[in-house]
Amino acid sequence: MGHVQITPSILNADFAALGAEIARIPGADMVHVDVMDNHFVPNLTFGPTMVEALARSTSIPLDAHLMIEDADRHAPAYVEAGCASVTFHVEAARAPVRLAREIRAAGGRASMALRPATPIEPYEDLLPELDMLLIMTVEPGFGGQKFLDLCLPKIRRARAMLDRHGVATALQVDGGVSLDTITRCAEAGADVFVAGSAVYSAEDPDAMIASLRAAAEAARP
């Protein structure tokens, strides 16, 4: 497993002052940017232009999570906009291997996300093509949702597959991650954690990042 990374989501931040909100989390490993198109998920957020402005305003790497249809066509634009890491949903990609290679060729880290009900097993063979695998622990679309414990066995199976293949692919979880749930995810084998509400509802978001990191490190197998 890689080292523990905390990647706060700005979905729960103040959209009118995102530059200032990102400045409140200097301890973040990456900033998780939720891109939604109101088709793949019932919500609408940022596009490439907004992401480009964010990338210019911070030195923290951006991790774009594309909850959009037709990921094959749109994902490479987010690398061009300045994202260090781009995550597409396998349910929205027609050619995930080709897309992962295009993202990498453009200079980004390629990541693939699975909704809670999407099994990991059919994708075992393409894990070496990925820099990161994202297991959603809520249905994507809105922040502040309750963590789904039913996803824990899938995190364990994904970790076992990654270990079996000996790949350095990071295992990220997103959805309802808090001081309470991060320990369960870390025990199951995740090493990258997206936390939205937990970070931005805290009085001191950066101190919460440090607490989450410590909790995950203590719980690792």
Task: Return the active site residues.
Answer: 34, 174
| DSSP 3-state of 32 | strand
The amino acid that residue 141 corresponds to is: G
CA-based nearest residue to 23, from 60, 63, 48: 60
Cα–Cα distance for residue pair 171/198, rounded to 1 Å: 20
CA-based nearest residue to 63, from 193, 200, 197, 202: 193
Write out the two tokens for 49.
Answer: 């232009």
Cα separation of the two ends of the chain = 10
